[in-house]
Structure 1
Amino acid sequence: MITTNYNEGTIKLKSNDYYFLPEYRSSKYTKKINGPYGNQELDINLIRKDFPILQKRVNGKPLVWLDNSATTQKPNCVIKAIDNYYSEYNSNIHRGAHTLAKIATEAYEGAREKIRSFINADSCEEIIFVRGTTEAINLVAETFGDDKIQKEDEIIISVMEHHSNIVPWQKLAQKKGAIIKVVPIDDCGEIIMEEYAKLLTSRTKIVAITHLSNVLGTINPIKKMIEMAHHIDVPVLIDGAQSIPHIGVNVKELDADFFVFSGHKIYAPTGIGVLYGKKAILEEMTPWQRGGGMIKDVNFETTTYNDLPYKFEAGTGNIADAIGLGEAIAYINNIGIERVQLHEKKLTSYAMDQLSQIPSIRLIGTSSNKSSVLSYILEGVTPEDVAKFLNNDGIAVRAGHHCAQPVLKRYGLNSAVRASIGIYNTIEEINALVGSTLKIARY
């Protein structure tokens, strides 16, 4: 350990081997080093140059963006891809006979293929473009859920769910007379698997669970939870909004029935996201929204719906931002999701260690298997005041209930500070967060 000063705070830092990573396939974003974890390291400075907003100053200080769970910043390649669409080949897709329509269609469907490959789906027919995680969950609840769930059937969610994975199921349960069962967590923020096992019964019709908590940072044992549900033929929806940018996702290996995520959490634009569903399930589901694009034939008596994935993509889609999402996926692939995962988990571990040394702090979510999310409160200071103080030092965090009120209430709280990590964050930025928080605690 070494000691350094950050403004008025004194922070103990771990040795510089913190950033050493195992050797993976070569990437322009790595540099050669000699260290105990291999001979390649993520070149964070090179990565940061790809994100123009990170050069910004806030209140005279360099911007420290630690609000990645709310939204991530966008690399130049994504910004340019969107600009290029609008300036070079703006067109509607699929039915145009002209050149620009062909180019736009190829780019749009090319993005779908990038996503399919990234999550290892069997077919592009299983990749549905939506506005984001929220719309994807609503789509499943309003179609699959409405068809399959009847009076006194049970829906299993966990106490750590985002409101987007609670409210749609509540609406469905109220409509059908179904029952929502909630899996509890322990004080560290981990699913109590014995209780989950007890909740799985012949009445269970779907499990909807987050992969990585947006408040606790806990990485849930999703594969095991899916296996347990499938043992009694219960389908599982995975909310991957927080996991998709931080850890590798293989829907085939997980055997997920549905997997949903938002583009803006993985360095892509807002207003675009993905519903993955197993083809056999999607083929049985009726469309949710109806109109142009999702039909084969229409007359005044009946309509024949289009094939997958288009029967769930009514109207003109968000073409530019779908292309931007594909570019963001390609960007992460170029770096390597394995490197991203290891970088962020190590940075999270370091941050938890440093924050825990601050007097009067209470960390929320202390699982050993967590990534990217640091939630805490300071005794005697409201989370909102902590966030305002940090903003004075150019540090962007979030304060509030984080659209996950039940899990905060589990800890007797209504609000907390949340700092959340992305690929471009550095140990120096964690030191800035810790130093500023320490100043508040001492004030």
Structure 2
Amino acid sequence: MAGQTPASRRPKPAGAFVAGAASRLLPASVPLRFFGAATFFHLLAWLALLAGSGEAARFAGGLGWTLAALHLATLGVLAMTAIGASLQLLPVATRQPIGATRLPALLWWLYAPGVALLAAGMGTGRVVLLATGATAVAGGLLAFAALLARNLIGARGMPAVVAHGWVALAALAATLVTGLSLVSAYAGLPSLDRGAALALHVALAGYGFMGMLALGLSYILVPMFALAPVPDTRPALISCALAAAALGLAAGAALGLAPALARAGAALAAAAAVAVHLALMRRALREGMRRELGRSFALVRISWALLGASLTAGLAVALDVPIPGAPTLFGLLLVVGWLLGFLFGILQRILPFLAAMHKPAGVRVPRTPSSLTDDRPLAVHFHCHLAALALLCVAVVADNATLVSVAAGFGALGACAFAAFFATVVHRMRRPARASRLDPGQDAHARQP
């Protein structure tokens, strides 16, 4: 009839992409091992920052425990979680099975020890550990890139998510090249210009690889948890194109191609991309049937605000605005403020959700996500994370090593609390299987919170 929207263009209901998802789920042990490793490296990152607190407030690069803390957070927490989430969620969204499940497991055994060796080499200054860890990490990320590319090539749904995945994949390739170049310089081997390689590495790792995956997966996760329609494809693709243009301009500026003009263009394109993306996210939350999303989405909303703050801080660094500790503050807002805040806000919902989808053998009805969750450690993590972030911002501006130590202590306490939450989810996920073997009639009781 005239005036009606074609069915192909109507917003899909929340969770439509999970139709038939059970056939594309990986064994629970695969994503959980990535999420478990991320939880462990989260604690190590704060402890490494505590060890390097004397230099953290004015960190300007170079080997040491502050650099180790940064990479434990980026490679050990952010990339580890991104790999686990992508391997599980993208096959569901793109309707393309991941294929052999042994490959993700082997990827973990290469990547997780590599991150540990790389961080140990950075912290101790031992080049052998640094090079060995970098090689293992690069191998793991290349394996992930191959799995991701295979999945994206055969994708049959959610084009905005797929587009973000391709941009993230291209950024990952450039991140690996620049990262290995920086490691080669420490080993005395030929490498790219350090200044250009470092600028490319920061932009393409933070906003490119991890940032684009976070933005792309948001189009799956936010509507799913808010019970909202999937955002319109066209504005999501426009946001992706603007973000890709911003990354290209930032790369050009790092390589010395009209740097002043390129930086200004990158800032404008990034701001426009974020504005479109956040408008879509706010609309999803506004139209969702689930309005009370609790503390987890309070953390997500804070991280969205800090995404904008990180862009402002990055522009201030590019323009040499005289702000005390501006480069360190930029990195802090990008990694701890936006990426880690968003990740932990979403992860505390992903974990029970995935655990509930994996029904143990012998149980007729799966547990609900809420029955697998303990909110008490999440409350501790929420307040500790925000306290650590606030104290670190003050410490950077004031150049105060004592405040860095206190902030690292709060962060470590929050990491322990999140680890307790993770352990609770895994324990409660497995408990019904044991109960059902003892007495089939206990199934209903085991499903109670």
Instruction: With the length of structure 2 as denominator, give the TM-score of the two structures.
Output: 0.24
Which one has a larger percent strand, Structure 1 or Structure 2? 1
**Higher alpha-carbon Rg:** 1
Higher relative contact order (CA 8 A, sep 6+): 1
Instruction: With the length of structure 1 as denominator, give the TM-score of the two structures.
Output: 0.24
Which one has a larger percent helix, Structure 1 or Structure 2? 2
